[in-house]
Amino acid sequence: MISVLFCSRVKDNPDSNVKRLLDSAVACVAPEDRDKIEFLIKYDEDDDQRPPDSFFETYPLSIRTFVWSRGEGRHYLHHAQEYLFTQRDPRSRFLIMTADDFRFTRPGFVSEIMNIKDEFCILGLNRPPIEAWAGRYEKDEAIRQWVVSFGGLSPVISTRLIEVCQNFGWQSNVDSWLMGLSVVLYDMYAIVIWRAMERFYERGGGPGLGDTPTYNNMELTGMHGPDNRYWFELIRRQARNLYLNMQHGTDLRPLGWGPRRLWRKLRSQPLENLPDRLWRRVLRDFRFAS
């Protein structure tokens, strides 16, 4: 299943066109695939021009809307997206992070995405030159290049990637976070999880609001940031989590006792502690068995 997540604001936003987006979904998603896609849309509480529930009920699609306060508007997007993620259908394997000024243009994209077996992947209409920024991705001139290399588009992300990373970054732009994660993952482990796919949507609105004042010194845009360089350390931790899950699998059950795990356990503490550790393990197993 695919979950389409986005925030929509009609009031004071001439680019907003949810009807066009949903109409294009009906046109491009075959009837037999309509149970494989859902839409989760967040509206602002003060948006008195948002469509009524009756509008969404006319569509042969699963559409759920959520309404709460505006917060900081655009700079608040990642908080809303993280909440929408937790409300998705648990069967969902992919996310489309879009906006209300997009529309779908090519039939068959749902089955095409669902046929991808990779647990960790990012799909885009272009594959950025991720390798070009290895070893220099923290320099400002490099940041200004890789942060916009994906373009003003919408990424498709495997849900497992978000489960492992636990969030959508620390700034409003999901695409800038994904680019940072991607260049760090390659720099540390020589792994690229991007895949290119044929264009299946286009954007109908303008370039967006750009930089606006915010409390968040982690914000990263095409023009500046992040002012707080701890952003990079957090991204490196996420890249390491991804790598470890790729290496050892994402099953939540305990790892089996192979030679490598046994060796890591032995090295985790001084060898002189080994007899006491083994004795405590025997006592614990005995208590559990009795």
CB-count burial class (<10 Å; 0-12, 13-18, 19+) for 157? buried
CB neighbour list of residue 140: distance below 8 Å, 6 or more residues apart: none
- The C-alpha atoms of residue 126 and residue 254 are separated, in whole angstroms, by 38
CB neighbourhood size of 191 (10 A): 15
pLDDT tens, N- to C-terminus, the chain (290 residues) = 999 999 999 998 888 899 999 999 999 999 999 999 999 999 999 999 999 999 999 999 999 999 999 877 777 777 888 999 999 999 999 999 888 899 999 999 999 999 999 999 999 888 899 999 999 999 999 999 999 888 777 889 999 999 999 998 888 888 889 999 999 999 999 999 999 899 999 887 665 555 677 788 888 888 888 999 999 999 999 999 999 999 988 887 765 666 766 666 666 667 777 777 777 778 777 776 65
Can you give the pTM of this predicted structure? 0.82
CA angle (60 as vertex; 51, 69 as ends), nearest 5? 30
pLDDT given at position 158: 96
CB neighbourhood size of 237 (10 A): 12
pLDDT given at position 210: 58
- The C-alpha atoms of residue 47 and residue 70 are separated, in whole angstroms, by 9
pLDDT given at position 275: 79
- The C-alpha atoms of residue 273 and residue 270 are separated, in whole angstroms, by 6
pLDDT given at position 278: 76
Token pair belonging to 91: 């069967």
